[in-house]
Amino acid sequence: MNSLSSEFSSLLSNALTSLGYERLFNIAFVFTVETGFIPTTLAEHFDSTNSNIELAKMVNNVPLNSFWHKNNNIFNAELVMSNQLCHLTGVPNDDLLIITLSYSNVSKCTYFEIDRSIFSINTEHVFHLSLKYKNLVSVPIKCAILEITVGQYPGLCGIPEELISYIITKLNNTSDLYALMRCCKKLYHSVISNQFLWKTLVVEKYKKEKLSTDLIQQPIMDWRTVYYEVNRIKSGRRTIEIIRE
């Protein structure tokens, strides 16, 4: 187990010492901190260059229930991400605790069940609960905040078009290109419309295969079509023209 997982395992162990709704809220709080959110009481002491390991150690030094308060049976905690204030709330509902993480006018929620509460840090349920919470709640809120504060986050689509085009031209085989095209519509259109990329692939294939240059002597409008035609010629496949009456 690496040091990061060890520190947060220790935090989760502390969360499991509580009972009922408090246990579930403590678990959600730990998952939120693990995503990178900082309790407001620690924000002044936590340097942005510090790691999550150091943050976990700081949280571990005090009882978890000191980071939140309870009012009318509703749990509340305040955390920050990129200096933006966020609210983590837990509302009991029968055997469920409905957990919401909100920032400005954006909020995400999920629920934890008491009857499926975690009794051991080693259970597989911990992993699935963490994955569920981060996918549905903490990571979407983190992305919403960072998209506003530091630009679109995370991913290739968040960088300028010129850089995307440059990166695409560095992919040296079509299997990589096809994988990239399947990521999203934006990258699909970035690939198929990059004439320089397809021209480069055609020229390299001609040099490598020592093919006849007759095909590229004429004016070319779509190098991607030429690339597919070169592959057809190389493989020996014939083009069949179908005439419909």
Domain ranges of the chain: 6-150, 161-235
CATH-assigned architecture of domain 6-150: 3-Layer(aba) Sandwich (3.40)
User: Is the pLDDT score of 166 beyond 90?
Assistant: no
* Whole-angstrom distance, CA of residue 159 vs CA of residue 190: 13
Find the mean pLDDT for residues 219-229. 78
Percent over 70 (pLDDT), the chain: 73
Q: Contacts for 4-7 with beta carbons within 8 Å, 24 or more apart?
A: 4/51, 4/52, 4/53, 4/56, 7/52, 7/53, 7/56, 7/57, 7/60
DSSP structural state of residue 110 = E
Whole-number pLDDT of residue 3? 42
- More confident of the two residues 80 and 157: 80
- The answer to whether the pTM exceeds 0.75 is no
Beta bridge partners of 98: 91, 111
Split at pLDDT 50, 70, 90, the class of 82 is confident
Whole-number pLDDT of residue 5? 57
User: Is the pLDDT score of 242 beyond 50?
Assistant: no
Find the mean pLDDT for residues 109-131. 73
Whole-number pLDDT of residue 133? 92
Amino acid, res. 22: E
Whole-number pLDDT of residue 102? 95
Split at pLDDT 50, 70, 90, the class of 195 is confident
* Whole-angstrom distance, CA of residue 56 vs CA of residue 6: 10
- More confident of the two residues 12 and 77: 77
* Whole-angstrom distance, CA of residue 132 vs CA of residue 48: 27
Whole-number pLDDT of residue 239? 53
User: Is the pLDDT score of 119 beyond 60?
Assistant: no
> Please, what is the average pLDDT of the chain?
77
* Closest to 86 in 3D by CA, of 63, 68, 112: 68
* Whole-angstrom distance, CA of residue 132 vs CA of residue 25: 15
Find the mean pLDDT for residues 24-53. 79
In DSSP notation, 45-97 reads T--TTS-HHHHHHHHHTS-GGGGEEEETTEEEEEEEETTEEEEEEEEEETTEE
Find the mean pLDDT for residues 80-105. 92
